[in-house]
Every structure is written in structure tokens, then in C-alpha cells.
């Protein structure tokens, strides 16, 4: 089966996008193809269609307009190196099929619109890892090579990622409508987003719309925290309305637990550090709320009060999701008042002992040796006894929620280096292992720990 494109985004006013023609490539070729995802989407016939997946096929593509706060500063952005092929409708679903790195668009500003093979393979691996963990995310269908050089600090091979998303509507899309267009544009966009993602909401009930987006984001960020994922660039243009994780740039999973960990080379202030992610989520949602003001009430004060009332519950929604997840991670089947403190104490101990985030929870789940948790472990065992759960029962449950295998920085880098040298096997093996991170196959056991990294891990975005 081939794609079944039924694009609805273009029903929005023309100021929300630009149509563009194909881009030039030299020697297009398929590097990575996600067979599982292709089958799910019913698009297996497209496997060899490298022209489509490099953006060089003769057809119209769409670059979407958006704005956003980047590290706190508001800017006009838009798809500078991405373009939508269309919305693929299958069974009861509709997903965007988007190319990233395919070339310049109307919104490229000074950029070349291209991407190097390294960052695209990185996004492919980590987005699929997130999916394997059961965390809402955009998916990766393919990585192709363009055969063109891309000029960064070093010359890289040009590559294009094919991204699959519930949509690419962002908080930044609303900011664009509100600050660059007008109230009608915000209403059109909100109606479109509600119909597409939250069809059960009452039409025109923008407060409920705001609440459901807020709740999705709170739950998403809680899930990141629970697996030690640092997004790295939580700019408002990288926050989706659907609640999917998007834009894997300088992101990474924590090895050693450090609550102030930043991986991004450009995040000098630590704005997007691990411990800050929940608060930044709230900051971004406040920017989202601001765009909705004219839809809520003609009287701005009334509108502000209504949205603030909803926003007030963000810390609680996040906290509840996080604590529920922590209870699962610790094997508790019931809720007790001391659970939050127990979870926090464990994290404090892990940080003090420089323990590996993933390994600690997994070792606790498997009953294998971990750094000395002494007193804490006694409290944990006592807590389980109180609810009448044996340690063994708890551990069985825990193994279903504490991954053994994550996309460890060391192995992601190894896969990228091999890909750059023309060998895609390392990436394929890694992605395969990450599909089911809760079960360890013998041949993937080496992925459970990180060989010591020679230097602190840093990643670069926008490359």
C-alpha cells in the first residue's frame, strides 16, 4: 500500500503555510527504513521511493509557519528545514508525514535547510527509543541520504529524516497566529486543532481545550522525568498541541543521575536542565494561555482569571502523574502518604552516590546488587510489607516499567559514527533493542551499562 494523502492543514488561512516545490539532491539513497512503522501505517510499497523521502519528487510540499520563544526570546521561525509531504490517513488515524533536512524553504532565514547524517540518525534512534518506552512521541519512518555535502564545523553528508507526527501544531503555531496574525487566525487554529486532536471536546470550549493540552504536557514531562530524559531545547516551538515529544536535538538520557544535568552545548544557563523541565513546561503553557486570551472573554481580566485558574492546577497534575509513575517504578500497588518522600530520598541518594539512573531502578527491580541504599532499602521493604506485597511480587511489576535498555549516549554516538562511515548496522541493532526495553535479549545485554565516556557528554542542535 502507498500513502493516502488527505491534507487538511491547508484548510487554514494561507498565512499559516507556504507551498514549495521539490529540492535538489545528488545521489538519493535510503539509509534507514522503519519496517515496523511502515507496516503499521500501511505504506510498505513506498520503501524504494527515495525521491519522495529526500523531497526531490516533483510535487508540492508545505512549509508551516510558526513562531516561538527560543531560550526565552520571542522570534519568527517556521519550517526552515522541514516540509510536510502531506497527511496520511489510514484506518481511523491521520498523521503528518514530514521531511526534515530536505532544503531551504520560505522560512529558512540564513540557514541552508539541510541536515547532516549524524543528527538525523540521532533523532531516528531516540524517537524510536521513546516509542519503545511507551512515551508519546513523533516517530521516524526513514533516513535518506541526499548525496550533497552539508557545511557545518566539518563537512557532513546531507541526510533527510522522515518524521511521522499526530501533527506539527505547536505552542509556537498559536504564538504565530496571536502575535503575527489576528484573533480570527487564533480561533481558526484552535478550532482546527480541537477537531483534529480532541474531537470529543465541545466546539468553542477553549478553556477545556487549554486544559487538555496542559494535562497532556504535564503527563508527558512526568514521563520524561521518570526515565531520566532531558529534552534539551524546550522552546515553545518544540512543544506540541498533541502532547507528543518533538524535535530531538541536543537531548539525551541521563547516565549518572545529576538533577542539574544539561547536555546542550548552547544552554549555558542550564535553562533546560533535567530538574527544570517541569517548570519550563509551565512557563511554555503560560505562553500558550496568552495566545488564547481573546477566545476566552472580551474582557481581558476575566479571560486571564479563567486561564490562571486552569494553570494553577498544572503543578498538581504534573506532581500526581510523577508520583503515580514513581509508585509504579518502586513496585507499590497502593498509595501511601510517605511515598513521595521515599521517592525523593532515593533520588537524593542516587545523586550523592553518582548512581546510574536507569541501572539503579532496574537493579532494584531485579534484586541485583546496587550501590549501598542501606537504610532506604529497609524503608522500601517495610513499605511493601505494609501493603502486603512481597518484594518478589513488586519486582515483577517493576520490571515492566523500569527499562533495562535506554538509548545510552555512548551507544548512540557509536551508531552515529558508524553511520557517518557508511555502516548503518549499529544503528539498526540499537533501534531493534530499544523496541522492547523492558526485556533483555542476550545479544543486547551489553547495552545495559555505559562504558565510561572519555569526556562529559555534550550534544549540538540545529545542525
CA distance 434 to 438: 9
For position 444 contacting ligand AMP by CB under 6 A, the verdict is: no
Using CB under 6 A, pick the residue from 8, 40, 42, 108 that binds ligand AMP.
108
CA distance 88 to 80: 22
CA-based angle 362:363:368, to the nearest 5?
Answer: 150
For position 79 contacting ligand AMP by CB under 6 A, the verdict is: yes
Number of residues that bind ligand AMP (CB under 6 A): 17
Using CB under 6 A, pick the residue from 102, 127, 219, 238 that binds ligand AMP.
238
231 binds, among Mg ion, ligand AMP, none (CB under 5 to 8 A by kind): none
Q: Nearest distance from residue 267's CB to ligand AMP, in Å?
A: 12
Using CB under 5 A, pick the residue from 87, 96, 123, 247 that binds Mg ion.
247
User: Of the ranges 110-118, 206-214, 374-382, 437-445, which one interacts with ligand AMP (CB under 6 A)?
Assistant: 110-118
Catalytic residue among 96, 237, 255, 356: 237
For the question of residue 60 being annotated catalytic, the response is no
Using CB under 6 A, pick the residue from 112, 208, 366, 413 that binds ligand AMP.
112
For position 238 contacting Mg ion by CB under 5 A, the verdict is: yes
81 binds, among ligand AMP, Mg ion, none (CB under 5 to 8 A by kind): ligand AMP
Residues 447 and 429 sit within 8 Å (Cβ to Cβ) = no
CB atoms within 10 A of CB 395: 17
Residue 156 or 360 with smaller CB distance to ligand AMP? 156
Q: Which residue has the cell 554516538?
A: 413
Of the CA atoms within 13 Å of residue 192, those in its CB half-sphere come to: 21
3-state secondary structure of 2: coil
Tallying the residues shown for the chain, one arrives at 463
Burial annotation 290-309 (CB, 10 A radius, 16+ → b, else e) = bbbbbbbbeeeeebbebbee
The C-alpha torsion from 20 through 22 and 25 to 28, rounded to 10°, is 130
Using CB under 6 A, pick the residue from 72, 111, 204, 451 that binds ligand AMP.
111
Q: Which residue has the cell 496542559?
A: 214
Q: Nearest distance from residue 84's CB to ligand AMP, in Å?
A: 13
CA distance 88 to 96: 6
For position 267 contacting Mg ion by CB under 5 A, the verdict is: no
80 binds, among Mg ion, ligand AMP, none (CB under 5 to 8 A by kind): ligand AMP
Q: Nearest distance from residue 127's CB to Mg ion, in Å?
A: 13
Please measure the distance between the N-terminal and C-terminal CA atoms of the chain and give it in whole angstroms: 34
Q: Which residue has the cell 500526581?
A: 320
CB atoms within 10 A of CB 93: 11
For position 81 contacting ligand AMP by CB under 6 A, the verdict is: yes
Residue 138 or 238 with smaller CB distance to Mg ion? 238
For position 249 contacting ligand AMP by CB under 6 A, the verdict is: yes
Residues lying near Mg ion in the complex (CB under 5 A) are found at 238, 247
Instruction: Cite the active site residues.
Output: 237
Where along the sequence are the contacts to ligand AMP (CB under 6 A)? 77-82, 108, 111-114, 233, 238, 247, 249, 461-462
Amino acid at each position: 500500500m502507498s500513502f493516502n494523502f488527505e491534507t487538511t492543514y491547508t484548510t487554514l488561512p494561507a498565512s499559516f503555510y507556504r507551498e514549495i516545490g521539490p529540492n535538489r539532491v545528488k545521489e538519493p539513497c535510503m539509509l534507514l527504513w522503519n519496517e515496523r512503522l511502515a507496516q503499521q501505517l500501511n505504506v510498505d510499497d513506498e520503501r524504494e521511493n527515495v525521491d519522495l523521502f529526500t523531497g526531490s519528487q516533483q510535487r508540492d510540499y508545505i512549509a508551516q509557519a510558526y513562531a516561538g520563544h527560543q531560550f526565552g526570546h520571542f522570534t519568527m521561525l517556521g519550517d526552515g528545514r522541514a516540509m510536510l509531504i502531506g497527511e496520511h490517513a489510514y484506518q481511523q488515524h491521520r498523521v503528518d508525514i514530514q521531511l526534515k533536512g530536505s532544503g531551504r524553504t520560505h522560512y529558512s532565514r540564513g540557514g541552508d535547510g539541510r541536515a547532516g547524517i549524524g543528527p538525523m540518525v540521532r533523532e531516528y534512534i531516540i524517537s524510536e527509543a521513546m516509542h519503545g518506552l511507551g512515551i508519546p512521541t513523533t516517530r521516524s519512518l526513514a533516513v535518506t541520504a541526499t548525496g550533497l555535502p552539508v557545511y557545518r564545523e566539518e563537512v557532513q553528508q546531507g541526510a533527510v529524516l522522515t518524521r511521522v507526527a499526530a501533527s506539527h501544531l505547536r505552542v509556537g503555531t498559536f504564538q504565530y497566529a496571536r502575535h503575527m496574525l489576528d484573533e480570527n487566525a487564533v480561533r481558526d487554529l484552535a478550532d482546527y486543532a480541537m477537531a483534529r486532536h480532541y474531537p470529543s471536546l465541545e466546539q468553542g470550549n477553549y478553556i477545556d481545550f487549554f486544559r487538555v493540552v496542559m494535562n497532556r504536557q504535564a503527563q508527558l514531562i512526568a514521563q520524561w522525568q521518570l526515565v531520566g530524559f532531558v529534552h534539551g531545547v524546550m522552546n515553545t516551538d518544540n512543544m506540541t498541541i498533541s502532547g507528543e515529544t518533538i524535535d530531538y536535538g541536543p537531548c539525551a538520557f541521563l547516565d549518572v543521575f545529576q538533577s542539574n544535568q544539561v547536555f546542550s552545548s548552547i544552554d549555558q544557563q542550564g535553562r533546560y536542565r533535567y530538574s527544570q523541565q517541569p517548570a519550563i513546561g509551565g512557563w511554555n503553557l503560560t505562553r500558550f494561555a496568552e495566545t488564547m486570551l481573546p477566545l476566552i472573554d472580551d474582557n481581558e481580566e476575566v479571560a486571564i482569571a479563567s486561564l490562571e485558574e486552569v494553570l494553577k492546577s498544572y503543578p498538581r497534575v504534573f506532581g500526581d502523574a510523577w508520583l503515580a509513575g514513581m509508585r509504579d517504578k518502586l513496585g507499590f500497588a497502593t498509595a501511601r502518604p510517605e511515598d513521595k518522600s521515599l521517592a525523593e530520598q532515593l533520588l537524593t541518594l542516587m545523586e550523592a552516590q553518582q548512581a546510574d539512573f536507569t541501572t539503579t531502578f532496574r537493579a532494584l527491580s531485579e534484586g541485583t546488587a546496587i550501590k549501598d541504599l542501606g537504610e532506604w532499602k529497609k524503608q522500601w521493604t517495610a513499605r511493601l510489607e505494609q501493603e502486603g506485597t512481597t518484594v518478589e511480587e513488586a519486582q515483577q511489576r517493576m520490571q515492566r516499567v523500569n527499562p533495562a535498555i535506554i538509548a545510552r549516549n555512548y551507544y548512540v554516538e557509536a551508531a552515529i559514527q558508524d553511520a557517518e562511515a557508511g555502516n548503518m548496522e549499529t544503528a539498526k541493532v540499537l533501534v531493534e533493542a530499544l523496541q522492547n526495553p523492558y526485556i533483555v535479549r542476550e545479544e543486547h545485554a551489553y547495552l545495559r551499562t555505559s562504558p565510561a565516556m572519555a569526556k562529559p557528554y555534550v550534544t549540538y542542535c540545529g545542525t
